[in-house]
Structure formats: structure tokens, C-alpha cells
């Protein structure tokens, strides 16, 4: 997609900052960032800040995640062409669109609990003519069994513990990434193996809005 000059400069500066701080190290993720412009996913009132490395308010007291967090999570998730992906917490649809770019021939199912945000994300995805993301209204803590199993599952809201249905809906050798904790969370990357669930990576000091719902915050 061709980006207007004022956003292009801001995007270049953001990418440079993320590279220098090592929140972005993977060329494929950089290409996805360049092809899925963040300003398409922020409300009009936030356009001037679209390429700041900060979370921004969208609606219903929710946020579009910080670019550095999205680049790191996307790198950890290591999406391959053709994979079946589940995202919990669609918000603006920006992370869904990045995943859709990377899975290309595959499909992204993204679950959001606020109808207003389902519509916001769907409208944003339409602007980029993205066809391989299905945004679904519902309680993402239950997963989405209809399209399971998933090669990759990403949770973009803070879990007190990993919801059991998500582990059940993960494919063998699949990866699941989620922020886990109360006030501050650790990003935890898990893999489902023949021998059970194995932790691959864990990094502390992230802050997300809470995951609500049946297997979310009480
Ligand atoms: N990935 C988003 C983006 O790119 O804009 C940011 C997600 S925002 C930090 C977290 C989202 O999770 C919010 O939109 C919130 O409404 C949603 N959420 C929280 N609990 C949920 C649940 N049980 N099911 C579905 N969505 C949930």
C-alpha cells in the first residue's frame, strides 16, 4: 500500500526506533509493519500519534497496542504462510491484519467482546481489502472451537491464567502467546508437544487491559 508522505516519515522513524531498541529484529515483521499502516487502525482523533510507540485509546476504554509490543509478540509467534490463527481481543484489528499478512494463504479468526469494536475492526480491515480475517463477536476466553485446531493462538489482553479452552484448541506443535499476570504481566510463549505443554519464552513487565469472560478476570 502506498502511504502518504507525512505518515511514511513517521513510520520510518518508528521502525528505526524499534530496530535500535531490539523490539523489531525480523525483516518479515518489518515488511508487515510497512504494508499494514497503523494510522488506518486508529480513530481520527489519534491520527497525529499513530506512529508513536505508545498504546492509543480506541473506544469502549480499550486500546490499540503499543507498536513495540506488537512487533515483539508477532516475532515470537513466528507465523508461517498458510497457518490457521486465532487471536483473542481484536480491538482495532491492527494485530489481526499483521497476522493476516504473514499467514497470507491461511486464515485469522479474531474474537472481540464489544460489538462496537467488531464493527470498527471490520471497517478498518475493509479499507485495506483484507479478506482472510474473520472478526467474531464473542467471549474469546472460550476460544473458537468451530475453526480449531489452530497453529498459532495469540491473546492480546491480560489473562490471570491461560484459558483451558485455548490450550485444547491448539494444534500439536502449535504456539500460544499470552500476557499472564495481574497488575503487570509476563509474556509467555507455550508450545503444545506430544509430551504436553512446554514453555518456550517468558518475559516480564508488560501491561495489557484485562481479558474478561468465563475464563478471564473474575
Ligand atoms: N489486538 C488489538 C489491536 O491490534 O488493536 C488490541 C487489543 S486490546 C489491548 C484488548 C482487547 O481485548 C479489547 O478490545 C477488549 O475488548 C478485548 N477483550 C477483553 N476480554 C475479551 C474476551 N473475553 N473476549 C474477547 N475480547 C476480549
Q: How far is CA 181 from the centre of its chain?
A: 18
Interior/surface letters 187-202, b for 16+ CB within 10 angstroms, e for the rest: bbbbbbeeeeeeeeee
CB atoms within 10 A of CB 119: 13
Dist. CA 131–CA 161, nearest whole Å? 32
First to last CA, the chain: 42
What is the spatial order of strands in the sheet that 170-180 belongs to?
Answer: 133-137, 107-112, 84-88, 150-155, 170-180, 185-193, 196-206
Ligand 1 atom with the smallest distance to the CA of 121 is 5
* pLDDT at residue 215, rounded to an integer: 95
Q: Which of 133, 143, 157, 208 to mutate to test the pocket of ligand 1 (most atoms within 8 A of CB)?
A: 157
Dist. CA 52–CA 67, nearest whole Å? 8
Phi and psi at 193, nearest 5°, equal -120, 175
140-163: pLDDT as tens digits: 999 999 999 999 999 999 999 999
- Strand, helix or coil for residue 173: strand
Tell me, which fold does domain 5-206 have in CATH?
A: Rossmann fold (3.40.50)
Residues recognised as catalytic: 65
Looking only at the bridges linking them, the beta strands covering 107-112 and 84-88 are parallel
Whether ligand 1 lies within 6 angstroms of the CB of 94 is answered as yes
| Residue ranges of domains in the chain | 5-206
Dist. CA 149–CA 130, nearest whole Å? 22
Q: Does pLDDT of 9 surpass 70?
A: yes
22-50: pLDDT as tens digits: 999 999 999 999 999 999 999 999 999 99
For the question of whether the overall pTM of this predicted structure is more than 0.85, the answer is yes
C-alpha closest to that of 134 among 188, 84, 71: 84
105-143: pLDDT as tens digits: 999 999 999 999 999 999 999 999 999 999 999 999 999
Average pLDDT over the chain, rounded to whole? Answer: 97
DSSP state of 178: E
Dist. CA 141–CA 135, nearest whole Å? 15
Dist. CA 172–CA 191, nearest whole Å? 8
Amino acid at each position: 500500500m502506498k502511504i502518504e508522505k507525512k505518515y511514511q516519515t513517521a513510520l520510518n522513524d518508528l521502525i528505526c526506533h524499534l530496530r535500535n531498541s531490539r523490539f523489531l529484529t525480523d525483516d518479515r515483521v518489518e515488511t508487515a509493519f510497512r504494508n499494514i499502516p497503523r494510522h488506518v487502525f486508529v480513530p481520527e482523533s489519534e491520527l497525529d500519534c499513530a506512529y508513536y510507540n505508545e498504546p492509543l485509546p480506541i473506544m469502549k476504554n480499550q486500546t490499540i497496542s503499543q507498536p513495540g509490543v506488537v512487533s515483539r509478540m508477532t516475532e515470537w509467534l513466528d507465523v508461517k504462510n498458510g497457518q490457521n490463527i486465532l487471536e483473542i481481543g481484536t480491538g482495532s484489528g491492527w494485530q489481526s491484519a499483521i497476522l493476516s499478512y504473514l499467514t497470507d494463504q491461511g486464515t485469522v479468526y479474531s474474537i472481540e467482546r464489544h460489538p462496537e469494536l467488531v464493527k470498527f475492526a471490520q471497517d478498518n480491515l475493509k479499507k485495506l481489502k483484507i479478506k482472510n480475517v474473520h472478526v467474531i463477536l464473542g467471549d474469546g476466553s472460550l476460544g473458537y472451537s468451530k475453526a480449531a485446531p489452530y497453529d498459532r493462538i495469540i491473546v492480546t489482553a491480560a489473562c490471570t491464567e491461560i484459558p483451558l479452552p485455548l490450550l485444547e484448541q491448539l494444534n500439536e506443535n502449535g504456539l500460544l502467546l499470552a500476557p499472564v499476570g495481574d497488575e503487570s504481566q509476563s509474556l509467555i510463549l507455550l508450545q503444545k508437544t506430544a509430551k504436553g505443554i512446554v514453555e518456550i519464552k517468558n518475559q516480564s513487565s508488560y501491561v495489557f487491559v484485562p481479558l474478561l469472560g468465563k475464563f478471564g478476570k473474575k
